[in-house]
Structure 1
Amino acid sequence: MANGCVQVFGFFLASVGLICLITSTSVNEWKTYSHSQEGMFKSLMINVGLWMECSVPSTGKWECSTFDSVLHLSTEVQWTRAMMIISIILSVCGLAVAVLGMKCTMCVDDDNRMKNKVAFIGGILLILSGVCALGVVSWYAHDVITGFHHAREGHLRYSLGTCLFLGWGGAFLSILGGVLLACCSLSRSSSRRSYISSAAQMTPGKDYV
Structure 2
Amino acid sequence: MSCGGNALEIASKMSNMGVEMLAFTLAVSGWILISSTIPTDYWKVSSIDGTVITTATFWSNLWKTCVTDSTGVSNCKDFPSMLALEGYIQVCRGLMIAAVCLGFFGSILALVGMKCTKIGGSDKTKARIACLAGIHFILGGLSSVTACSLYAHRITSEFFDPTYIAQKYELGAALFIGWAGSALCILGGIALCFSMAGNGTSKRAGYTYSGAASFISSRTKVQNTAADVRSARGNGNPPKHFDKNAYV
Structure-2-length-normalised TM-score: 0.77
Give the structure 1 partner of residue 201 of structure 2: 193
Distance 2:155 2:40 in 1: 17
Unaligned segments of structure 2, at least 5 residues? 1-13, 227-248
- 2:154 aligned to which of 138, 143, 156: 143
Query: In 1, are the aligned partners of 2:43 and 2:174 still within 8 Å (CA)?
Result: yes
Residue 59 of structure 1: CA displacement? 5.3
Unaligned segments of structure 1, at least 5 residues? none
Distance 2:33 2:86 in 1: 24
Aligned with 2:196: secondary structure? helix
Identity %: 30
Query: In 2, are the aligned partners of 1:31 and 1:159 still within 8 Å (CA)?
Result: yes
Relative contact order, higher structure (CA 8 A, sep 6+) = 1
| Amino acid in the other structure paired with 1:84 | M
Distance 1:52 1:147 in 2: 19
Query: Which aligned pairs between 1:46-85 and structure 2 lie closer than 5 A?
Result: 46-57=58-69, 60-85=72-97
- 2:173 aligned to which of 156, 162, 173: 162
Give the structure 1 partner of residue 37 of structure 2: 24
Distance 1:3 1:40 in 2: 59
Superposed CA offset, 1:122-161 (max 9, x none): 0011011111111121121111111100154642110000
Query: In 1, are the aligned partners of 2:158 and 2:164 still within 8 Å (CA)?
Result: no
Superposed CA offset, 1:73-126 (max 9, x none): 1101000000000011111111111111101101124x1111111101100110
Aligned with 1:33: secondary structure? strand
The answer on 1:98 being equivalent to 2:106 is no
Please tell me whether Structure 1 or Structure 2 has the larger radius of gyration of its CA atoms. 2
| Amino acid in the other structure paired with 1:108 | G
Distance 1:120 1:153 in 2: 47
The CA RMSD over aligned residues, in Å, is 1.7
The answer on 1:40 being equivalent to 2:28 is no
Question: How many positions carry a matched residue from both structures?
Answer: 204
The verdict on how the C-alpha distance between 1:181 and 1:122 changes in structure 2, with shifts beyond 3 A counting, is: same
Give the structure 2 partner of residue 4 of structure 1: 17
Aligned with 1:187: secondary structure? coil
The answer on 1:176 being equivalent to 2:187 is yes
